[in-house]
Structure 1
């Protein structure tokens, strides 16, 4: 088993829009994605943003607990439990403020971090937590294009 790759994308202006662009890019590479987000309100915002990203893109997605989740390449979750059966483990896009308990089950984790100091401070804590788990996260400053 290979180690999970963890990448931090920091100084993001708009986490939802940036995440939609990452999801579009990952889907173009035939990757299946689970997006972990803090709450239902944010999940609804992400859902709407994925539907309206562009007229040319179709990014099929559902909530993780939907009965059709195992057939859907993009899933949105407000929590992932340790013993939860996940339909796929290619990419975990973490928009939440916690290190997912089962992050090591994924091939890759991308942490999206806003410019706001509170979000950046919480991300620094997560960065250190990953290091304590033996992971060496990479760091990318988000492009503004």
Structure 2
């Protein structure tokens, strides 16, 4: 069953997401980053290239011909992907096909609207019996 982790009170979802994806990639995990906002996903794509001068995180769109050979994939739709390791949700809706993944990481900003939508997702997962953990980033710790 998919393990769901909520990282809440994240001041900058995109920057935090980049660090999280880097950590997962460096530990040998395969990651699908999903976002229901294609503009936000494009900005995340750009940030993966620039957020850390010393790191290279190979990534492509999930629809790219190189997707099967790339450890980090980006999607704004419901792609069929070869791996089912880690799914990171930058969006505001429940990701499609999330239950195919070993782990789902929900990133929740300090914005009240984002928190409200995350509460709905939290109830959705809880009511279906998914194992869940919450990590409060208000302290600034990672």
Structure 1 and Structure 2 fold alike (TM over 0.5): yes
TM-score normalised according to structure 1 size: 0.92
TM-score normalised according to structure 2 size: 0.93
Q: CA shift at 1:4, angstroms? A: 0.9
Q: CA shift at 1:133, angstroms? A: 1.8
CA distance in 2, matches of 1:39, 1:66: 18
Are the counterparts in 1 of residues 34 and 74 from structure 2 also a CA contact under 8 Å?
yes
1:99 alignment partner, SS class: coil
Q: Is 2:140 the partner of 1:144?
A: yes
Unaligned runs of 5+ in 1: none
Pick aligned residue for 2:82 from 84, 87, 94: 87
Aligned residues: 140
CA shift digits 1:44-63 (9 cap, x unpaired): 10011000121210001111
1:57 alignment partner, SS class: coil
Q: Is 2:32 the partner of 1:34?
A: yes
1:6 alignment partner, SS class: strand
In structure 1, the residue matched to 2:119 is: 124
CA distance in 1, matches of 2:131, 2:100: 16
Q: Is 2:91 the partner of 1:96?
A: yes
In structure 1, the residue matched to 2:47 is: 49
Unaligned runs of 5+ in 2: none
Q: CA shift at 1:98, angstroms? A: 1.3
Q: CA shift at 1:41, angstroms? A: 1.1
Structure 1 stretch 58-67 or stretch 38-47: which is displaced more?
38-47
CA shift digits 1:95-138 (9 cap, x unpaired): 11111231111010000000000000000000000012211321
1:17 alignment partner, SS class: helix
CA distance in 1, matches of 2:81, 2:36: 18
Q: CA shift at 1:73, angstroms? A: 0.6
Structure 1 stretch 118-127 or stretch 30-39: which is displaced more?
30-39
Q: Which runs of 4+ in 1 moved over 3 A?
A: none
Q: Please give the root-mean-square deviation of Cα atoms over the aligned residues, in Å.
A: 1.2
CA distance in 1, matches of 2:55, 2:91: 25
